[in-house]
Structure 1
Amino acid sequence: MTVGRIAIIGGGPAGLMAAEAAAEAGAEVTVFEAMPTMGRKLLMAGKSGLNITHSDDPERFTTRFGAARERLLPALEGFPAAALREWCAALGIETFIGSSGRVFPTAMKASPLLRAWLARLARQGIVMHTRHRWLGLEGDGLVFDTPGGRRIQRFDAAVLALGGASWPRLGSDASWVPWLEQAGVAVRPFRPANCGFDVQWSEVFSSRFAGEPVKAVVASRGGQSLPGEFVVTSWGVEGSLIYAHSAALRDLWEQEGATILTLDLVPGRSLDRLTGDLARQPARASFANRLRKGAGLAGVKLGLLRETTADAARMDAADLARRIKALPLRLERPRPIERAISSAGGIAWNSVDEHLMLKAVPGVFVAGEMLDWEAPTGGYLLTACFATGRAAGKAAADHISRS
């Protein structure tokens, strides 16, 4: 005997985990996905190696979620990174910790994990419908646009896991916002997170260096300095180091417009040493040779110096060293949210109770990027989606039992 019928709307990581948790609690579960297949954004995330979680100790791990930390804490503690790795192992997917502390499946792909997961969900009796787009609420019913036309479905509880507003072509298009706002749910505007930034490169620089990685640098803004690397693109910059600063840079851009990211192109050398190394270069040597031998700068790093410093070749050793150690890179604007890895904003926390149930719509729970939180790349995003999905699925089943 089941505890009741639960609808899961959204077939991404949060939705599928909610389905699994609800089924384990004894519910009869049906998953509705608007796209032709489940888990499309998960597959996209796995194209370059699925970073499924991070090996940070639990206390440090939870600090990555900023202002939303306290509200996410129960879900993260209920399904921490270690539990996620055990869950992967139970699917037959072994994981390893990379040099940066990030955790990946050994196969470095999402597709084997997704296939194994969907097969297990099917064995649990979970029914899955694709090409079923949720159109909102009508009384106590859920309205769907299906291949057979408009349908109204009724369940004892529902979990919404429809994603945020990044990569809409994969299904996260935020079309649900007006339907929930009409029902009395507060939704904070979506903004790009873990995004690149536009830079006004010259045509010469862009044509020569687009696609080039800038390695072993330190980027600073607002007193925070982080080492890493990023990639020059035809339109600007992207990559892990840019994403790490993107939330603060986006917030500053919203207040002031274009903002500055300061780069140390040779973090392994002190300013005094670099000044001396440059001063020892023969005056008759070309600027490129002086920079290559005196500072180890060549290729894209030298290109960045020239692009941002018109009079670099005329600077003395001291001024040139200071410039190399604090190169200002002007960022014009964040990339559009459609191209961001994730999004900030979503359902306001004061619109959900401690069990992730919408206060305005009892019996309807939410999970994943629909909620107002953000985190850097590194496995934190996926872990929180899995964790909130699991928490919401279990809470939906518990809600039916109590009712």
Structure 2
Amino acid sequence: MHPNRAKPPSIYRTTPKKGGDDVRNLPTIPAKEFSDRRDNLQREARAAGLDLLVVFSNDRATAGPAHVRYVSDFATHFESSCCLIPAQGESVLVTGPEAEALAQLTAKIDHIVVAEEFKHPEQDHPFSKMSSFPDIIAKMAPALGHKVEKVGIIGQELMDAALYSLLDEHYELSSVDAIMYKYRAVKSANELAVISYAFEIAEAGFEAAVQAAGVGVAEFEIAAAAEYAMRLMGTEGTGLDTIVGTGPHARPIVVRATHRKVERGDLLGVTVIPRYQGYHGAVGRPISIGRPRPELVEAVELGVKAQNEVLKYLKPGAIGREVEQKARDVMATKDLDQYFAYVGIHSVGLVEFEPPIFHATSDVTIQADMVVSVDIPCFLTPWGGF
């Protein structure tokens, strides 16, 4: 059993050395790939008869930054942002005034402008030249050969009502998220390398959590140990707050790390979701502090069996929902399918639960170079969950 407090970072055997080749050689997405993504969406806009795509993001946890990150590598922070991709002409990244300098440093796109609609209404920003959205969009007319009329929005569910209303006054709007998701579903070689490393980070974070866990250690201490290890490996943060639930806190699907201390006999649920280069790599497993309860052993063994059953059928051409059902069928052999709390088989990328999600009415097929999470949820049971 480990001491009562979290261990210092010397325990993290899998973390890279600070500086040197380990840091310089970490995988990234090159600038050209972001340009190619915008080109793909530009062609989709033309094919759909749209004059402009408005790709919107905010800094809401989990999914908020994903759309703009995909087309520009700009990690939306503090203020909302969007990327305007016209059917003809140059794309433009639109930020608020306080994020402008950050975008200039980090975004992989040539044209960056600041929108009045993204500023705080009670702030002054004399250093920033701002324009309204209609004025910014109007400058795209010469390349198109006509005024912008038909606008497709990617990320409409994230967009604040005031901005949507403004756009609705001037243009014919439609929601077109599917245009982007069909590209995001299948990963490039660079994406596969980035995601693979994100999962290496997750494994190191989980190992650090295991090393830190012990009777008398608080949930937040375990979370801190995991996050420290992941930061040392290059993560920019987490896709979801690190989940550490002890005892009764292990039962819900999502929990926050609190001041509750681990007690002997506790079930400890830990999920780490590092965000690396915008991409998520989630690893979640149960830990027993002391001898595990028979119910937990049975459920874990069945969960592993269900996961392996899914892996047998997880091949290009398979219908995703039919593969997902294999896991439910296995869990049903011990009546644990009633605790299968969500769709466990889904794509992974810039969002932990990213379309396609292979739900019961989906006919989407598995494709080569998809990255798929094989998650066997077993939550809200009488004894806890994982």
TM-score (norm 2): 0.23
Q: Counting strand residues as a fraction of each chain, which structure ranks higher?
A: 1
Q: Larger Rg: 1 or 2?
A: 1
Which TM-score applies when normalising by structure 1? 0.23
Greater RCO (Cα-Cα under 8 Å, separation 6 or more):
1
